[in-house]
Every structure is written in C-alpha cells, then in structure tokens.
Amino acid sequence: MVRVNKWGWGLGIATATALTAFGAASWHANAAPNPGNPTAASEETLVSDPKPGPERKNGIGVDALTTDEVTRARTIALTPELAAQAKDVTGKAGPQYLSVELAADGSRTADVYFYDYGKNKLFKQVVDLQAGKLAKSFSADSMQLPATQPEVDAALDLLLADPAAADLKDAYKKATGKEFAGKDGLTVNAHVFKARAADPTVKQCGKHRCLQLVVETPDGLFIDVHQIIVDLSGRKIARLS
C-alpha cells in the first residue's frame, strides 16, 4: 500500500495552482507585446555562423593538407632533375603537375604526382613536410591518373586544330541546331582512355596519355564525340575503329 501525506498532497495542489496562475499571467503578458516597444521582437537572440578564422600553416594528424603545405610539397617535389629533363602537356620544360594528397599513413607526408610527357612516366614524389625534404621518389610506365584541367584544355585545342574537328562541329549542329561558334561557353571534361585489344587504332593509349572528351553546351546538351581519342603524348588525334 502506498501512503500519501495529506499535507504534502495539499501543498502540492496549492503550489500547482499558484504556478498555473503565474504561468497564465506570464503568457498573457508576453502574448501581447507593448506597442510602445516595437523593437522587442527584434531583440531576440540570433545565432549565425561565425566567420572562419585564418587557415593554419600546418595541419595536424589526418587533417587535409593546408594551402601552405601543398605549396611547400610541390616546391620540394619538383627537383632540379625533373624541372630540367621532364616535359609538360604543352611540350615545355618541367613535368605536368597532376595532384597532391596526404599520405595514407596519416603522417604529415605528401604524395605529389607529376607526369613526364617526354618519357611517358608517372612520378610519385613523397615529401616529408615536417623535415622539409624529399623522402622517396618513384616512377612507373603505363600508369594513368585522372586528367587535370590544363590537360583537358590542351586536348580540346589539339582537337580543334585537327581535321577531326569537323566531327565535333557536325555533332554540335545536330544537338543544338546551330553552327559551332568556338569553344567559349563549352564545359569540357575528359576520361583517361586506355586501349583494349579491340582498339587497334589507338593501341598506344595506356602507355601514352590519351583522353576521351565529354563536351557540354551552355544549354546542358552533350555533344557526342566519344569516338575521338586525343593522344596527348603523341599530340595527335585518333578515332576508335
């Protein structure tokens, strides 16, 4: 059996009644703001996102590489030998920069990737950011990372300078009903293309760095040029058979 103290219970009822009356009075007082104080509603506390502070110079642990770390990694990775002996996508001295990422082990070590178009080699330069030095260097044939925007731009220029540009212009007219007026306004991406056994006309692709363009008009229409392969290493255009 549960016993209830009648005095406690009575006190509880009285207290509840008082609180109810107080709450009702407060609600009525707040429900109708004082017309003589029009700024009452605007004085409510508002929460906004604070502005981000300045970026740190160095990241910690598995933090993404900072802008400063990326700059330092690229500078250290570009050795005098690479700068003098390698070639970029345009044929100029120096390798083509591809990407940089934090090493998988979570240390403040950056893996910087370059492509040498002169020798068709991918370079991986491992930079110890804490020590400020190149830790390791690797190179490989027939390994292709995703294309960068400078490479995509170079591929489009090579295509437009080739007789195969007629295919692009025809496809553009079929898709839009308009004459091709130049590359301005186009959105161009690309897939790295590696030849299969069924692609004898582009068998060099894989060892060479080749791209297959994806062209989109300002209106969001895609231009079908999948059969055209741009061999950036050989600086020529090929077609799938």
Q: What is the pLDDT of residue 58?
A: 76
Q: What is the CA radius of gyration of the chain?
A: 33
pLDDT at site 55: 73
Read off the pLDDT of each residue in 52-58 and give the average, rounded to a whole number. Answer: 72
Residues 82 and 154 in one domain: no
Q: Is residue 93 part of a domain?
A: yes
What CATH number does residue 132 fall under? 3.10.450.40
Say if residue 177 is in the same domain as residue 99: no
Beta partners for residue 101, in sequence order: 111
Report the distance separating Cα 208 and Cα 193, nearest Å.
9
Residue 81 belongs to some domain of the structure: yes
**Domain with 154 in it:** 149-239
- Is pLDDT at 22 greater than 50 in this prediction? no
Give yes or no: residues 137 and 156 share one domain: no
Q: What is the pLDDT of residues 163-179, one digit of tens each?
A: 999 999 999 999 999 99
Q: What is the pLDDT of residues 24-42, one digit of tens each?
A: 344 333 444 444 554 444 4
pLDDT band at 61; cut points 50, 70, 90 = confident
Q: Are 161 and 95 contained in the same domain? A: no
In a shared domain, residues 110 and 192:
no
**Residue 181 amino acid letter:** A
Could you tell me the CA-to-CA distances from 157 to 151, 154, 161, 212, 229 in Å, in that order? 10, 5, 6, 13, 13
CATH number at residue 190: 3.10.450
| pLDDT at 117 (0 to 100) | 98
**What does the block give as tokens for 37?**
């104080």
Please check the confidence at residue 5 and state whether its pLDDT lies above 80. Answer: no
Domain co-membership, 134 together with 86: yes
Amino acid in the structure at residue 83: A
**φ, ψ of residue 189 in degrees (nearest 5):** -120, 180
CA angle 186, 205, 214 (to 5 degrees): 15
pLDDT tens track for 68-107: 999 999 999 999 999 999 999 999 999 999 999 999 887 8
pLDDT digits (tens, 9 = 90+) for 134-151: 999 999 999 999 999 999
Specify whether 174 is located in the same domain as 232: yes
My answer on whether 155 and 229 are in the same domain is yes
- 166/234 same-domain check: yes
Domain boundary among 118, 141, 164: 141
**Token couple for 29:** 């007082």
- Supply the pLDDT for residue 106: 75
The number of domains in the chain is 2
For the chain, give the number of residues: 241
User: Would the pLDDT of 2 be above 80?
Assistant: no
Q: Read off φ and ψ for residue 130, nearest 5 degrees.
A: -70, -40
The answer to whether residues 128 and 179 belong to one domain is no
Domain boundary among 125, 141, 157: 141
